[in-house]
Amino acid sequence: MKTASTKTKVLTANRLTDGIAVWLGANGEWTTSLKEAFLARHDDAVAAIEAAGQQALDDNRVVDVNVIEVEETEAGPRPFRLRERIRSDGPTIDYAPAFTAGVSHAA
């Protein structure tokens, strides 16, 4: 079993302008999809994303910056905590039929 320090980590935050949950991608940009998040698999990588998070906070691009632990699955990274899974996937309820219908229509 992996120890806590070797668990894969990703950097997450909320975008300043609209508060939408975002993750730091491999290209250094913030993405709204956890699947595109950069996976920090060792201490140096974790230190790098922490530094990137502090920089983005200082640059007023994001707020509420956190490093979270994920499990690497075939479907992509899966956060250990339910809270973080809900941040990634959205509310677990059919919360806005009009809105979601509009989205699927557009897609």
Partner 1 sequence: MYRYDEFDHAFVAARVSQFRDQVERRLTGEISEDAFKPLRLMNGVYLQLHAYMLRVAVPYGTLDSRQMRKLAHIARTYDRGYGHFTTRQNIQYNWPKLSDIPAILEELAEVEMHAIQTSGNCIRNVTADHFAGAAADEVADPRPYAEILRQWSSVHPEFSFLPRKFKIAVTAAERDRAAIQTHDIGLQLKKNDQGELGFAVWIGGGQGRTPILAKKVRDFLPEADLLSYVTAIMRVYNLHGRRDNKYKARIKILVHETGVEQLSAEIEAEWQHLKDGELKLPEADIAAINAYFEPPKLAPRAEGWGELAAWKKSDPGFADWVGRNVAPHRHPDYAMVTISLKPIGGIPGDASAAQMDAVARLAEEFAHDEIRVTHEQNLVLPHVALADLEPLYRALLADGLATANAGLITDIIACPGLDYCALANARSIPVAQEISNRFGDPARQAEIGDLKIKISGCINACGHHHVGHIGILGVEKKGAELYQISLGGSGDENASIGQITGRGFEPHQITDAIETIVDTYLAQRSSTEETFIECYRRIGADPFKAALYSSEAEAA
Residues of this chain that bind partner 1 (CB under 8 A): 14, 16-21, 57, 59-60, 63-64, 80-83, 86-87, 90-93, 95-99, 102
Between 31 and 45, name the residue whose CB sits nearer to partner 1: 31
CB of 24: closest distance to partner 1 in angstroms? Answer: 17
Q: Decide if 56 contacts 13 (C-beta within 8 A).
A: yes
**Least CB distance from residue 74 to partner 1, whole Å?**
21
Q: What are phi and psi of 2, to 5 degrees?
A: -70, 145
- Cβ–Cβ contacts within 10 Å for residue 34, how many? 22
